[in-house]
Amino acid sequence: YTGNNEANLFGIQTTGKHSVQNSIDFTPSSGLKADFVIDIRQPSNLSEFTYLEKFSADITPSSQKIYFENKLDSLLYTVNNNAVLEGSFPAFTATFKPSASTPTVLLEYDVDASTSVSFANDLLEVLNKFALTHSKLTVTTNYLITKALRRQTEDDDSCSRQKLNVDITSPLFTEVNLRYAAQKCAISASVSTTSGSQIGLQLKNLNPCQINARVYAVYPSVTETDVDILVIKSSEDADKPNLQIVYNQEASKLILTELKNKVPSIISAFKTFAEEYHITKTLEILKDTIIQCVTDSYHAASKYDFNKSQMSITLV
């Protein structure tokens, strides 16, 4: 299909051309081949508007590939999306790459994401990758999942596991790293910054009668070693379960002290961001809320008896 149009509306003259093309070829021996294209062009004396969409499939007994692309191009906004699914059993890969450009820099972005799936040695492995590039921050994510497909391999801790890494970098704010790892009998997670500050979780032995868990914090400017915030231990003695919970109130004070010292730099970063995009009024409301919450939390954590800074609860 091909069509043309002309219009003159309120002094805006436009002459457009629209076309649609489609082809399908299928045979049992060679497989399926298909192509579909939409092309819309609508130029005017102000600007040009175009929209392009492509879809193609090439599926054979030995390999499979599906491709999709669309692009919207206008005076104010340009968007591109690309998606590809390809592979041959037992391995497949999917990629997705959207991007946008506009005179409003805040709305610009570039994304590169992919998922790879493979089956080998009775194991399912899924690897997810994600990368976001923006003028104000960069986010990269890697998420690996390995799962045993047969019951006899599930007894091996190394066969079933998860691992997640997230890195967030911002020239205006800070750099944050998130880490998560899980196996059959252990879980660990942490959030850290470039200053070395870190909050983490460690959990060993998921059996309710033998749990060993701790929530800890590391602040180099306050203490050289990690500080336990919460410790939970359970055991079984003569068929009687024992549960011990220890909460360190002094650790909460250390965390809030460090956060209180960071508030001026946090507010300064938000102020720079707000002034650049003319949202200072919203910033004032946010600033007052942050200061009030941190102040109230700090005073609440500071009002305790130092001799009773650690609370221990034992259930028998």
Higher-pLDDT residue of 190, 229 = 190
Q: What percent of the chain has pLDDT over 90?
A: 34
Supply the pLDDT for residue 252.
75
- From CA 30, how far away is CA 68, in angstroms rounded? 22
Q: Judging by beta carbons within 10 Å of its beta carbon (0-12, 13-18, 19+), is residue 283 exposed, middle or buried?
A: middle
Supply the pLDDT for residue 153.
47
* pLDDT band at residue 253 under the 50/70/90 scheme: confident
Residue with tokens 């699914």: 85
13, β-bridge pairs: 8
Paired tokens of 295: 């102040």
Q: Are 118 and 129 in contact (CB under 8 A)?
A: no
Using the predicted structure, report yes or no on whether residue 154 has a pLDDT greater than 50: no
pTM above 0.85, yes or no: no
- From CA 23, how far away is CA 35, in angstroms rounded? 5
Supply the pLDDT for residue 56.
95
Higher-pLDDT residue of 259, 54 = 54
Supply the pLDDT for residue 95.
97
What residue spans define the domains of the chain?
1-80
Q: What are phi and psi of 254, to 5 degrees?
A: -65, -40
- From CA 257, how far away is CA 252, in angstroms rounded? 9
Supply the pLDDT for residue 55.
95
Task: Say which range, 11-15, 146-150, 205-209, 264-268, has the weakest mean pLDDT.
Answer: 205-209
Closest by alpha carbon to 85, among 61, 111, 116, 60? Answer: 116
Supply the pLDDT for residue 120.
83
What's the mean pLDDT in 79-95?
A: 93
Q: 3-class DSSP state for residue 11?
A: coil
Supply the pLDDT for residue 76.
87
- Taking the CA atoms of residue 254, residue 260, residue 266 and residue 267 in that order, the dihedral angle to the nearest 10 degrees is 170
What's the mean pLDDT in 18-29?
A: 90
What's the mean pLDDT in 221-240?
A: 76
Supply the pLDDT for residue 292.
81
What's the mean pLDDT in 6-34?
A: 87
Supply the pLDDT for residue 177.
93
Supply the pLDDT for residue 19.
93
Q: 3-class DSSP state for residue 269?
A: helix
Supply the pLDDT for residue 156.
56
Which CA distances in Å does 18 have to 23, 72, 82, 135, 183?
A: 17, 14, 22, 35, 55
Helix extents (H) in the chain: 249-276, 280-302
What's the mean pLDDT in 287-311?
A: 69
**pLDDT tens column, 33-81:** 999 999 999 888 888 889 999 999 999 988 899 999 999 998 889 999 9
Higher-pLDDT residue of 179, 268 = 179
- From CA 116, how far away is CA 92, in angstroms rounded? 6
Closest by alpha carbon to 161, among 179, 147, 141, 142? Answer: 147
DSSP state of 173: S
Supply the pLDDT for residue 189.
94
Supply the pLDDT for residue 143.
96
Supply the pLDDT for residue 78.
93
Q: What are phi and psi of 213, to 5 degrees?
A: -130, 150
**pLDDT tens column, 99-112:** 999 888 888 999 99
What average pLDDT does the chain have? Answer: 83
Higher-pLDDT residue of 106, 308 = 106
Using the predicted structure, report yes or no on whether residue 309 has a pLDDT greater than 70: no
Q: DSSP letter string over 40-56?
A: EEEEBSS-EEEEEEEEE
Task: Say which range, 156-160, 255-259, 286-290, has the weakest mean pLDDT.
Answer: 156-160
